[in-house]
C-alpha cells in the first residue's frame, strides 16, 4: 500500500492569502489508515456532487494537489494575485485582460477543500475544524467521501485505445492556413503567428481522468501536469505543459519563460537525443527570440530593468525539445510586489501562442482558425497555494515554496464523455514550410496521445 499524506483544509472566501498560507492544521492523526481517501475518491466525489475540481503536480515535484470548489458556478474574474484567496485559475486564450474595462474571463476555483497526496513522509490526515462552516455542501462532500472509502472500488471497463475521428481535410486546411499566414508575413503585416488545429479521438468508454493524470505525471516529470473538471460544461481539461507563464514565490521571486522552436527529442530509432546535440535553424532561433523580445518589451512598458535573463538553452519537453530563456526578478529588491499580477496582464497571450505584433496575430488567428481555442493557449495553475514538497530537487528550491504557479495551457486536451479533442499549434514566420508545420503539430499531439495509447 502507498503511504501518503492527505491534507484537507477549508478556506473561506474572504480570507487573505497571507493568513491562509500561514494556516496550520489543527490536528494531525499520525496513524496509518487502511482506507485513506485517494485522489480518485476526492475526484469522483466532486463529480458526483457537481463540484468543480482541479488536480495538479508541479514540474520536478512529487506531491499531487487536489482542490474542490463548493461553488458549482465558478466566478469569472480578472486575476489579482494580491487579492485572491487560495485556489486555481483557468483562463481561455481569448482573454486580453487589462484589469480595467475588459470583461473578466478567468475562471477561479476557490480551494474550499485541499488535499495533498504525497508518497513521501508519514501517512497523516489533517482536517480543519472549519469544515462545518462551509455548511451543507461541505458536509455532503465529507459524507460521500467517507462512504466512498467503505465501498469497493468501482469496476470500470478498461477503456479502449484512442481511435482518431476521421477529418480527411484537416491537413490541407491547416497547410492552406499556414501558406496564407506566410504570405501575410511576407507582405510585412506581421512577424510571427501561431496557428493551431485540433485532433479528435474517441474511446469506447470515457477514460479515467485521474489514471491519465497519474500516467502523465510518471511520463513527464518536468511538466506541469493537471486535470480540471468544469462541472457547468461537464468538461475535463487535461494537460502536461512545459511552459511557465508567471510564478511568484512566497519569498517574492518572479519568473517567466520564453519557449519556442520545436524538434523531436528522439532519434528515428526511438533513442533519446541529448539536448547538447540539438541543431536549431535560423527560423527557430528567430521564432524563440521573438518570444523573448515580447517579454522584454513588457518589462520595458513598466520600466523594469533589473531582471536576470538566462538562455536560450535547449530543454526537453517529453517527446520534444524547445529553446527556452528564463527571466527572473527579485520583486522585493526592486520593490514591486505586484509584478506578478501586472506581468500576467501584459504577457498573456505571449507570442509563444499568439504572435507579433500581438493584436495583428490575434486577429489573423480569429480569421484563420475554424475551431474555438477555448482554454487551449490560455493559462492555468494554482494561485496562493503553498506547494512545498519534501522531495523537491535543489534546482527547484526557489519554486518549492512558490505561492503562485501559472502555466501556458498547451499540450492539452478536452475530454467530453468518450471523445477527446487535442489541441496543437506551431509558431510561423515568413520562412515557414506548411508541410513541416503540420508535422510539428502532429508531434505535439503525440505528447498526450502516446500516453493515452500506452495506458496500462
Ligand X SMILES: C=C(O[C@H]1C=CC=C(C(=O)O)[C@@H]1O)C(=O)O
Q: Which residues of this protein are in contact with ligand X, per CB under 6 A?
A: 194, 196, 243, 259-262, 322, 352-353, 410-411, 424-427, 444
Are β-strands 402-408 and 235-241 bridged in parallel, bridged antiparallel, or unpaired?
unpaired
Q: Which long-range contacts (CB under 8 A, 24 or more apart) does 372-375 make?
A: 373/92, 373/93, 373/94, 373/196, 373/423, 374/92, 374/93, 374/414, 375/90, 375/91, 375/92, 375/93, 375/237, 375/409, 375/412, 375/414
**Beta carbon of residue 10, minimum distance to ligand X (angstroms, whole number):** 36
**Beta carbon of residue 373, minimum distance to ligand X (angstroms, whole number):** 10
Q: Residue 422 pairs with which residues in a beta bridge?
A: 199, 413
> 324 or 384, CB closer to ligand X?
324
**Beta carbon of residue 445, minimum distance to ligand X (angstroms, whole number):** 9
**Beta carbon of residue 390, minimum distance to ligand X (angstroms, whole number):** 31
Is-contact 280 261, C-beta < 8 A? yes
> 112 or 287, CB closer to ligand X?
287
**Beta carbon of residue 426, minimum distance to ligand X (angstroms, whole number):** 4
24's enclosing H/E stretch is: none
Distances (CA, A) of 194 to 9, 77, 191, 330, 360: 41, 26, 11, 31, 11
Task: Name the region of 285 (left: φ>0; alpha: ψ -120 to 50; beta: rest).
Answer: alpha
**Beta carbon of residue 203, minimum distance to ligand X (angstroms, whole number):** 22
CB contact set of 148 (below 8 Å; sequence gap of 6+): 37, 41, 44, 45
> 57 or 199, CB closer to ligand X?
199
> 199 or 444, CB closer to ligand X?
444
> 62 or 283, CB closer to ligand X?
283
Give the Cα separation of 262 and 274 in Å (integer): 14
Number of helices (H), then strands (E), belonging to the chain: the values are 10, 22
> 256 or 262, CB closer to ligand X?
262
**Beta carbon of residue 346, minimum distance to ligand X (angstroms, whole number):** 18
- Residue 52: CB atoms within 10 Å: 25
Instruction: Go through the chain and tell me how many residues it has.
Output: 456
> 127 or 449, CB closer to ligand X?
449
Give the Cα separation of 26 and 353 in Å (integer): 44
Are β-strands 5-8 and 124-127 bridged in parallel, bridged antiparallel, or unpaired?
parallel
- Residue 219: CB atoms within 10 Å: 17
Distance, first Cα to last Cα, the chain: 19
> 260 or 364, CB closer to ligand X?
260
Give the Cα separation of 9 and 131 in Å (integer): 7
> 339 or 410, CB closer to ligand X?
410
**Beta carbon of residue 263, minimum distance to ligand X (angstroms, whole number):** 9
**Beta carbon of residue 424, minimum distance to ligand X (angstroms, whole number):** 4
> 86 or 245, CB closer to ligand X?
245
Q: Report the residue number whose CB is nearest to ligand X.
A: 427
Amino acid at each position: 500500500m502507498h503511504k501518503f499524506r492527505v491534507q484537507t483544509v477549508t478556506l473561506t472566501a474572504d480570507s487573505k492569502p497571507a493568513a491562509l498560507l500561514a494556516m496550520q492544521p489543527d490536528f494531525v492523526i499520525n496513524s496509518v489508515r487502511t482506507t485513506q481517501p485517494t485522489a480518485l475518491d476526492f475526484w469522483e466525489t466532486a463529480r458526483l456532487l457537481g463540484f468543480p475540481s482541479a488536480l495538479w503536480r508541479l514540474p520536478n515535484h512529487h506531491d499531487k494537489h487536489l482542490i474542490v470548489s463548493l461553488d458549482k458556478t465558478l466566478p469569472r474574474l480578472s486575476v489579482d494575485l494580491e487579492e485572491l484567496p487560495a485556489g486555481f485559475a483557468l483562463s481561455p486564450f481569448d482573454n486580453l485582460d487589462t484589469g480595467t474595462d475588459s470583461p473578466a474571463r478567468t475562471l477561479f476555483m476557490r480551494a474550499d477543500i485541499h488535499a495533498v497526496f504525497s508518497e513521501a513522509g508519514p501517512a497523516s490526515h489533517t482536517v480543519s475544524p472549519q469544515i462545518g462552516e462551509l455548511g451543507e455542501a461541505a458536509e455532503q462532500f465529507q459524507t460521500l467521501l467517507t462512504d466512498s472509502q467503505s465501498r469497493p472500488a468501482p469496476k470500470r471497463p478498461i477503456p479502449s485505445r484512442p481511435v482518431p475521428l476521421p477529418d480527411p481535410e484537416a491537413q490541407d486546411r491547416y497547410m492552406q492556413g499556414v501558406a496564407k499566414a506566410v504570405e501575410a508575413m511576407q507582405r510585412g503585416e506581421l512577424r510571427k503567428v501561431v496557428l493551431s488545429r485540433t485532433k479528435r479521438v474517441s474511446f469506447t468508454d470515457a477514460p479515467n481522468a485521474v489514471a491519465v493524470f497519474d500516467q502523465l505525471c510518471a511520463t513527464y516529470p518536468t511538466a506541469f501536469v493537471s486535470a480540471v473538471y468544469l462541472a457547468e460544461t461537464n468538461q475535463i481539461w487535461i494537460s502536461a505543459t512545459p511552459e511557465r507563464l508567471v510564478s511568484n514565490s512566497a519569498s517574492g521571486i518572479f519568473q517567466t519563460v520564453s519557449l519556442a522552436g520545436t524538434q523531436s527529442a528522439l532519434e528515428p530509432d526511438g533513442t533519446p537525443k541529448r539536448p547538447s546535440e540539438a541543431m536549431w535553424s535560423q527560423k527557430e532561433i528567430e521564432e524563440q527570440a521573438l518570444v523573448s523580445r515580447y517579454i522584454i518589451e513588457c518589462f520595458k512598458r513598466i520600466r523594469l530593468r533589473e531582471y536576470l535573463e538566462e538562455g536560450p538553452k535547449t530543454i526537453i519537453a517529453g517527446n520534444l525539445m524547445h529553446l527556452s530563456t528564463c527571466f527572473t526578478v527579485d520583486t522585493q529588491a526592486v520593490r514591486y510586489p505586484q509584478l506578478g499580477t501586472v506581468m500576467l496582464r501584459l504577457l498573456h497571450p505571449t507570442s509563444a501562442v499568439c504572435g507579433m505584433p500581438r493584436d495583428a496575430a490575434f486577429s489573423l488567428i480569429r480569421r484563420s482558425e475554424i475551431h474555438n481555442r477555448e482554454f487551449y493557449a490560455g493559462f492555468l495553475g494554482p494561485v496562493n497555494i503553498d506547494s512545498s514538497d519534501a522531495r523537491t530537487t535543489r534546482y527547484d528550491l526557489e519554486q518549492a515554496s512558490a505561492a503562485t504557479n501559472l502555466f501556458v495551457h498547451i499540450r492539452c486536451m478536452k475530454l467530453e464523455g468518450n471523445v477527446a479533442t487535442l489541441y496543437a499549434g506551431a509558431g510561423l514566420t515568413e520562412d515557414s514550410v506548411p508541410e513541416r508545420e503540420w508535422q510539428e503539430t502532429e508531434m505535439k499531439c503525440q505528447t498526450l496521445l502516446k500516453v493515452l495509447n500506452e495506458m496500462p
